[in-house]
Structure 1
Amino acid sequence: MDTEQRLRDAAEKLALTLSQGGMQKTTARVMTALLYTEQESMTAADLRDQLAISSGAVSAAVKQLIPLGLIERVPAPGSRRDHYRFRRGAWASLMSQQNAILQVMVAAAEEGLDAAGDEGATARRLHEMKDFYAYMAEQLVPLIDTWREKYAAQHG
């Protein structure tokens, strides 16, 4: 089996895993196609042809992936088509977005505690929830910053 086919197989395997985790299957396939390609960028037509999906499906996937910071639209001199590539730093950006979710969970726990008070089983569970998510939010930002510094030092 050649390298290109092995990369496509690996991409499909990851896409299946991501879709089992809740990402729409087509979105996962577009993301992994851009992650595993040896091309610098791909057009919507490239993605459509490689994945055997409709242009509308590619468009919908792109509309989901760009705001997440996983892919980006890039200029291609001499081409009138949009080109997309997997974004450098995408993983750290994606994880940074999780911080907002952590803050939402802290706020939800605080709202529950306001309603439940500080005593009882509900309060005990909500305090644990609040403390856990507050701790994770506190640790996430410096962890991502440290990773970015380490990566930049190793890879320039």
Structure 2
Amino acid sequence: MNDKREQWQAAEQLALVLTEGGLQRMAARTLAVFLFTDQESVTAGEIAERLEASAGAVSGAVKSLLTVGLIERLPAPGSRREHYRLRDDAWATLFTSQNTVIQTMLQAARAGIDSTEADDPAHRRLTQMRDFYEFLLGELPALLQRWHQHSSKEAKRWRLDSHPSTGH
């Protein structure tokens, strides 16, 4: 699938699947740009051009992808535009305490608990919410450590497969 048109069709199909999975449409299409680009980084203007979308729509999508930790802002000395790229650890970051959505949910649960009485059904539900996110954040370090070990092995295997030695 070296044809750019076929590649872009695959990117749009991925964006559709991500949208059906709950991601906002423009965020899904923007994420597809990051996944399929052959550039080290892209600007919001380049994304807007590629998607034939407004600067405002792309700006909102970029902000949401930054918020969940899938992309990062890069320093771009000499450029007046912000440059972004997919994080190397994007998928793992989605499930870490660096994910501001998880932190926001946890803070909201705590604030709700503080505002309700112990015998209030809302208090019980909010306590379950808090306990879930605290449990999740507590379990994630070990899971992510296993993931990093696994991905290191896969990266090593990929390097060996991609660059076989010419020796014995």
Answer yes or no: same fold by TM over 0.5: yes
- Tell me how far 1:35 sits from its aligned partner: 1.3
Q: Percent identity, aligned pairs only?
A: 39
State the partner residue of 1:146. Answer: 146
Contact 1:99 1:140 in 2 (8 A): no
Contact 1:102 1:137 in 2 (8 A): no
State the partner residue of 1:31. Answer: 31
State the partner residue of 1:123. Answer: none
Q: Deviations over 1:54-110 (max 9, x none)?
A: 001111111111121101111234422111111110000102248769979xx9xxx
State the partner residue of 1:89. Answer: 89
- CA gap of 1:99–1:76, structure 2 versus 1, over 3 A, is closer
Matches within 5 A, 1:2-151: 2-96=2-96, 97=99, 115=119, 139-151=139-151
Instruction: Specify which structure has the higher proportion of helix.
Output: 1
In structure 2, list runs of 5 or more residues that go unmatched: 111-117, 157-168
- CA gap of 1:153–1:52, structure 2 versus 1, over 3 A, is same
RCO higher in structure (CA 8 A, sep ≥6): 1
- Tell me how far 1:152 sits from its aligned partner: 3.0
- CA gap of 1:29–1:155, structure 2 versus 1, over 3 A, is same
Aligned-partner Cα distance in 2 for 1:77–1:99: 32
Contact 1:7 1:37 in 2 (8 A): no
Amino acid at match of 1:28: A
- Secondary structure, aligned partner of 1:84: strand
- Secondary structure, aligned partner of 2:72: strand
- CA gap of 1:90–1:20, structure 2 versus 1, over 3 A, is same
State the partner residue of 1:122. Answer: none
RMSD (Å), alpha carbons: 3.6
- Tell me how far 1:40 sits from its aligned partner: 0.9
